[in-house]
Amino acid sequence: MRAIGFKVGSVVFFISMASLIKASGDVPPGQLVFFRSIFGIVPIVILLAWRGQLIEGMKTDRPMAHFWRALVGVVSLGLSLVALTKLPLPEAVAMGYATPILIVIFVAIFLKENVRLYRWSAVAVGLIGVAIIAWPRLTVFSGNAGEISELTIGAIAALVSTVFSAFAAMHVRHLVQSERSATIVLYFSVSCTLFGLLTLPFGWEVLMAEQWAFLVVAGFLGGVGQILMTEAYRHGDVSVIAPFEYTSLLFSIVIGYLFFNDVPTITMLIGGTIVVGAGLFIIWREHALGLERRRAREVTPPGPG
């Protein structure tokens, strides 16, 4: 129950962060990445210092692995922030659910993991759900001939973001074999801050006081959400905790309606339900396969010596 509480808490903080970023207006993506990252570092550093792990958390033997993980991750983060500013909040959240579906595809292709028929079926169904959500936005054009609408830009950004997010997840799978979770989070946040700062010459906006407040608080909430998510997976099994990620869709629908007048479309609700169902099936299947592997290890006799 503690793990589930941490997970739901992280979802609330991340949705609150997303809402504040959306409310900040049409701020350049690089500027959004910078604010999201630099103020997200604050609660992480505070926690590490409180635990006496700050110096230890900065030690790594794989700086280039962190660099490549950060490079892929910052592209995903930047595109997801673009999607937040262009799309209704529930749609931006629902399209992000494509990430775990794409991870299944990528681990089969690039890591040569054995993916059986059940999971391939769930992947196919999940991609259909994503297509149902995205298609109306991909076919919307602005009033000017030849110009793509803001909604279409947001949908494209959201979909490409999930691709980079899936690649980032594979990088993390390699890093966790030798690196602490706090080290991975800290280096990612610092790297994103630097990458965001590099976009300064390409034109940042002069922010109003309200925008400053929104973005500073959004960054801090994102850092707290990261901590809560890490604690959730520390105290509970992934198969138990992961399904609660989908509560973010409910929160996004409520917040989107109350604060942004975002009324969920029928296609979003149908597609979102399909994607959530496929994601839950993949989680259940991963759990079942984990139990099978555990039982196999338990019945396998030890080797000589």
Predicted local distance difference test score (pLDDT) of residue 291: 66
Q: Looking at the domain assignment, is residue 304 inside a domain?
A: no
- pTM for the model: 0.85
8 A C-beta contact, residue 229 and residue 10: yes
Domain count, the chain: 1
Q: Looking at the domain assignment, is residue 65 inside a domain?
A: yes
User: pLDDT of 256-280, one tens digit each?
Assistant: 999 999 988 999 999 999 999 988 8
User: pLDDT of 104-129, one tens digit each?
Assistant: 888 888 878 788 888 889 899 999 99
Q: Looking at the domain assignment, is residue 89 inside a domain?
A: yes
Handedness of CA 50, 186, 76, 25 (dihedral sign): positive
For the chain, report the end-to-end CA distance as a whole number of angstroms: 42
**Residue 141 region, left (φ>0) first, then alpha (ψ -120 to 50), else beta?**
beta
Q: Looking at the domain assignment, is residue 190 inside a domain?
A: yes
| Local confidence band at 239 (pLDDT 50, 70, 90 cut-offs) | low
Q: Looking at the domain assignment, is residue 305 inside a domain?
A: no
**Interval 7-12 mean pLDDT:** 90
Predicted local distance difference test score (pLDDT) of residue 47: 84
Return the axis-axis angle of helices 266-299 and 89-96, rounded to nearest 10°: 30
| Local confidence band at 101 (pLDDT 50, 70, 90 cut-offs) | confident
Find tokens 């595809």 and name the residue. Answer: 105
User: pLDDT of 246-256, one tens digit each?
Assistant: 889 999 999 99
Predicted local distance difference test score (pLDDT) of residue 304: 46
Q: Which of 45-59, 135-149, 282-296 has the highest mean pLDDT?
A: 45-59
Residue 145 pLDDT greater than 60, yes or no: no
The whole domain housing 113 covers 2-299
Q: Looking at the domain assignment, is residue 228 inside a domain?
A: yes
Q: Looking at the domain assignment, is residue 193 inside a domain?
A: yes
**Interval 80-100 mean pLDDT:** 92
User: pLDDT of 170-182, one tens digit each?
Assistant: 888 788 778 877 7
Q: Looking at the domain assignment, is residue 131 inside a domain?
A: yes
Q: How much of the chain exceeds pLDDT 90, in percent?
A: 45
Contacts 24+ apart (CB under 8 A), 139-143: none
Residue 294 pLDDT greater than 60, yes or no: yes
Predicted local distance difference test score (pLDDT) of residue 303: 46
The three-state secondary structure class of 197 is helix
